[in-house]
Amino acid sequence: QVAYDTGDYYHSIAWLEEAVSLFRLSYGSWNPEDRSSLEDALDHLAFSYFMAGNISHALSLSKEFLHYDPSNRRVARNVLKYEKLLEMGTVVSAGPLPRPNSPRLQSRHAYEELCQRPGGQVGLPGGCQDPPPHRCPPSHTFLGLLSPQTALDHLPLLGCSYETNGSPYLLLQPAKKEMVRIQPYVALYHDFISDAEAETIKGLAGPWLQRSVVASGEKQQKADYRISKSAWLKDTADPVVRALEQRIAAVTGLDLRPPYAEYLQVVNYGLGGHYEPHFDHATSGKSPLYRMKSGNRIATVMIYLSAVEAGGSTAFISGNFSVPVVKNAALFWWNLRRNGDGDGDTLHAGCPVLAGDKWVANKWIHEHGQEFRRPCSADPRD
């Protein structure tokens, strides 16, 4: 519906074709209370094809609509209009629809290709103990980093390890770290949160969920490229939230005390929910992110609170890889380089949820307060 309303018929046709197919298979079994119907899908799909230049198919779909609702005068008029256009010899688009090239989203092709990769549509059962071939070899599961030769045989410098990060908090239960990429730096911490903790956080956020907004200029507003609901939780909301923040601080080694980090943001993506390519850090000096007076977002911790049946991967566009939804795992990456500049390789997206219900919790950490925890490099270009 969002694609249709914005005139993006390239994408609305694909979604509506699927909807029409499903409605046809189950026609007559839908409750009258349902907001959508076969007729509704046919109506939108016919107009989408008309706007795309395929008048003959728009005519065919409109006639099918009249088979189910013969008294609809508006669609009947459209049928006459389409027939007249075809009689006049109006050219029918025979080739595929051109992919939209919005100035806001020049990377759409890479984004969609990453979201459609089969490897990005399933979780990693057992974490590093049962990974697909391109990840950590089972023979080296959490026994320390891979040896140099073994690493070169798979992915250079990538591996799985138990990490304490020098924190007493992690001595008895080290973090299970899977290094996903070196540039951009992306790590996945398996079993970062328990099922009970995840359910508690979802329950706390549930009553406060509202349509998610994005930073736009000097304000925040709703956008059709971010379809989700979100809520913010203070660490005082529940002992579980406080314990989670302590765990994040231990794993990252960063200072999360106010105002050095934002409140925990809990986000729910329903069917079709997504967030198109974006940066977590501010790219403009006028961004509302600077209202905290603690600099830009230096790092992101995103915790998967649920599993999904299909879709929902986190796709890193410039890095050309995606990380699937791994329930109870936490994804970590640096948004800024050591010199304070934004890392362009962190352009990422939340792929559409194709089946299931996706919940995540985001913790955004700012650069002020981290001067001695992640110091600048001797090389100003780093």
Per the DSSP assignment, residues forming a β-bridge with 302 are 331, 362
Residue 25, phi then psi, degrees to nearest 5: -70, -30
Residues 187 and 298 in one domain: yes
* 309 belongs to a structural domain: yes
* 196 belongs to a structural domain: yes
Residues 344 and 205 in one domain: yes
> Which CATH number fits the domain that encloses residue 266?
2.60.120.620
pLDDT at 108 over 90: no
Residues 49 and 182 in one domain: no
pLDDT at 303 over 80: yes
Q: Where are the beta strands (DSSP E) in the chain?
A: 160-163, 175-181, 186-190, 210-211, 214-216, 219-221, 226-227, 229-233, 264-269, 274-278, 297-304, 308-311, 314-316, 321-323, 330-334, 348-350, 353-356, 358-366
* 356 belongs to a structural domain: yes
Give percent of the chain with pLDDT exceeding 90: 55
pLDDT at 83 over 60: yes
> Which of 93, 126, 142 is where one domain is finished?
93
Those residues with Cβ within 8 angstroms of residue 335's Cβ, 6 or more apart along the chain or in another chain: 279, 280, 281, 296, 297, 298, 299, 300, 342, 343, 346
* 148 belongs to a structural domain: no
User: Which is more confident, 150 or 274?
Assistant: 274
Digit-coded pLDDT (tens) for 166-177: 999 999 999 999
Residues 59 and 190 in one domain: no
pTM of the model: 0.73
Q: Would you state the pLDDT for residue 10?
A: 78
* 252 belongs to a structural domain: yes
* 358 belongs to a structural domain: yes
Residues 76 and 188 in one domain: no
Residues 354 and 245 in one domain: yes
pLDDT at 215 over 70: no
User: Which is more confident, 117 or 128?
Assistant: 117
* Domain of residue 24, residue span: 2-93
Residues 196 and 327 in one domain: yes
pLDDT at 264 over 80: yes
> Which of 55, 73, 93 is where one domain is finished?
93
Domain tally for the chain? Answer: 2
User: Which is more confident, 21 or 217?
Assistant: 21
Digit-coded pLDDT (tens) for 308-328: 999 999 999 999 999 999 999
> Which CATH number fits the domain that encloses residue 60?
1.25.40.10
> Which of 69, 93, 117 is where one domain is finished?
93
